[in-house]
Amino acid sequence: MTQPTTGNPGITANRKLFAVALELFLVHSLVIGIAVLWGGTLLPENFHGRFFLTFSDPFTRSLHNFDAGWYLQIAAHGYNHLNIVFFPLFPLLIRALTLLHFTGPAAGLFIANLSFLTAIGLFLLLMREEGFPDDTAYRAALFLALFPTGVFFSAVYTESLFLALSLGAFLCARRGQWLAAALLAGLTALTRNPGILLLPALGWEYLAQKKERGQGLDPQVLYLGLIPLIFAAFLVYQKIYFGDALAFVHADSLKVWGRLTTFPGLPILLALKDLAHPHFVYWWTSSFDDLLFTLFALVLLVLGLRRLRSSYLVYAGLSFLMPLSTYIRNEPLTSMPRYIVVIFPLYMVLAAKVRGPKAQLYLTVLFVSLFVLLTVLYVNTYWVA
């Protein structure tokens, strides 16, 4: 990503950046491919507590398990009182591609993987925009590409689309392109519920830029109002078809999905209490993994207090606390490893702290090992974050 001294430096630098993004995407895809082939042919599939060793095409059962089925159902048949908790942009895109004769799973995989390639490129652009050295930017993108729960970037899930849109929103905001930033943030809010957190984060960024330049507010601040307006379209839809503008909230309650609301942080305490007596069975080890990922993210957040730009810190902090404001009994930290994977400022902190070649090598080996393990478990429906 170093700019040359001859020719058009901007175009050449962008071409090199795209090549780096493509390289990291291919590395990520290689790990996914190996894990899917291994997990889909050599290990038995778990089906309602029964185990089957099948030698069919591993990709037919691999990357559209668990919540992916809900997105495919919405794309094919629309919303009902159960699946309304899943936000509309991703299934709408799947539906659009099925009109072009894609199958639902193929459309979901295409969107997810194209979005992840885009996200890596946008992340590198954002790191360059922030003035990070090339080696730090590369490490951050490498850790993103190989994060242990990275299977959700390639599966029929919203993580990669959400990440690409949120990175695009921040990149536009850092360049002062507030209309584009607001539109992308609005689309992010239609992808997953944490997307609405871009409103306070980008608002903070707008004020920070004005303060740095000694300027007052200008009409561009009004563009940020597009974020809740775009999100409101989903609320209007729910009011029309379900008679409840907050159907997605109510469907996520104890009655349907078993979720309880609480003050931020309580799920960590509940997890520590539940794990106090080791059982070393699936439930215990899965909860222990959730806790480790949560504490890992918490440590990075603390380390980022003096390293992250304030708007990134606002976004990362709120994105971390939001899922910790709800929990499911007996699984207080369920899905935290998946929620954490898209909090991109954490990779900035990690890359800044892990500098030496040995430390980078050790962390990469650890990430790849866990990446393969968790992907194999996901493919065979033993585990979902």
Closest CA to 67 of 91, 51, 50: 91
Distance (Å, whole) CA 254 – CA 258: 4
Q: Where are the domains of the chain?
A: 12-47+58-157+354-385, 182-257, 262-352
DSSP secondary structure of 289-326 = HHHHHHHHHHHHHHHGGGTS-HHHHHHHHHHHHTGGGE
Closest CA to 94 of 18, 157, 138: 157
Mean pLDDT by 10 residues, the chain (385 residues): 51 82 97 87 63 55 85 96 94 96 93 98 96 95 97 96 98 97 98 97 98 94 97 97 92 71 90 85 86 97 94 97 90 93 98 93 97 91 83
Residue 47: the pLDDT is 59
The model's pLDDT over 103-158, given as tens digits with 9 standing for 90+, comes to 999 999 999 999 999 999 999 999 999 999 999 999 999 999 999 999 999 999 99
The model's pLDDT over 284-326, given as tens digits with 9 standing for 90+, comes to 888 999 999 999 999 999 999 988 999 999 999 999 999 999 8
Residue type, 83: N
Residue 4: the pLDDT is 44
Residue 2: the pLDDT is 45
pTM of the model: 0.93
Residue 133: the pLDDT is 93
Residue 38: the pLDDT is 81
Residue 6: the pLDDT is 45
Residue type, 207: L
Question: What is the chain's Cα-based Rg?
Answer: 21
Angle ∠(341,347,350) on CA atoms, nearest 5 = 125
